[in-house]
């Protein structure tokens, strides 16, 4: 009997547009034998194609909780969306099975990207130009 529970599926709720989104996945084994989660995280931005992050098939022992990372080029890495994010909501959907069992486990999380650093940079440039203009007037 293999049974799982998603303890955590999270990421920052709001990030800067020039940052990256990292996902935290923790799964608990509430069955009576070990299993490996088989599944993926699908990230759908407001614009552009969806990105897929494949979960690493790591053993989760009976009556324990484990942090699950992702696979990239046959190596285990942090679950992080590839490339930069730009603007708007990024909806992530976690779906997996316990060793290809029939039951599918899932959870959804949304992160919003806003260009904080770009706005701060524009304000700084504007202030510098204003100061230069005042100096040149004198």
pLDDT at 13 over 90: yes
Residue with tokens 């060793």: 99
Exposed, middle or buried, 130 (CB in 10 Å: 0-12/13-18/19+)? exposed
Find the largest Cα–Cα distance for the chain.
82
- What percentage of residues in the chain have a pLDDT greater than 70? 99
The predicted model gives 13-36 an average pLDDT of: 91
d(CA 98, CA 114): 36
Q: Is 71 helix (H, G, I), strand (E, B) or coil?
A: strand
pLDDT at 97: 94
Confidence of residue 4 (pLDDT cuts 50, 70, 90): very high
The dihedral sign for the CA sequence 76, 82, 85, 91: negative
Where in the chain does DSSP place strands (E)?
Answer: 4-10, 14-16, 22-29, 37-45, 51-55, 65-67, 70-72, 75-77, 79-80, 88-98, 105-114
Confidence of residue 131 (pLDDT cuts 50, 70, 90): very high
- Total residues belonging to the chain: 138
pLDDT at 92 over 80: yes
d(CA 83, CA 74): 19
pLDDT at 46: 86
Angle at 36 between CA 35 and CA 42, to 5 degrees: 140
Confidence of residue 102 (pLDDT cuts 50, 70, 90): confident
């Amino acid at each position: 009997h293999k049974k799982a529970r998603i303890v955590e599926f999270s990421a920052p709720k709001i990030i800067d547009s020039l940052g990256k989104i990292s996902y935290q996945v923790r799964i608990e084994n509430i069955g009576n034998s070990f299993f490996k989660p088989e599944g993926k995280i699908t990230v759908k931005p407001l614009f552009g194609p969806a990105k897929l992050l494949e979960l690493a098939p790591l053993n989760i022992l009976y009556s324990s909780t484990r942090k699950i990372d992702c696979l990239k080029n046959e190596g285990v890495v942090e679950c992080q969306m590839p490339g930069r994010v730009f603007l708007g909501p990024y909806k992530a959907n976690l779906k997996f099975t316990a060793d290809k069992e029939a039951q599918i486990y899932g959870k959804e999380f949304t992160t919003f990207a806003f260009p904080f650093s770009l706005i701060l940079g524009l304000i700084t440039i504007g202030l510098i130009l204003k100061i230069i203009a005042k100096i040149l007037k004198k």
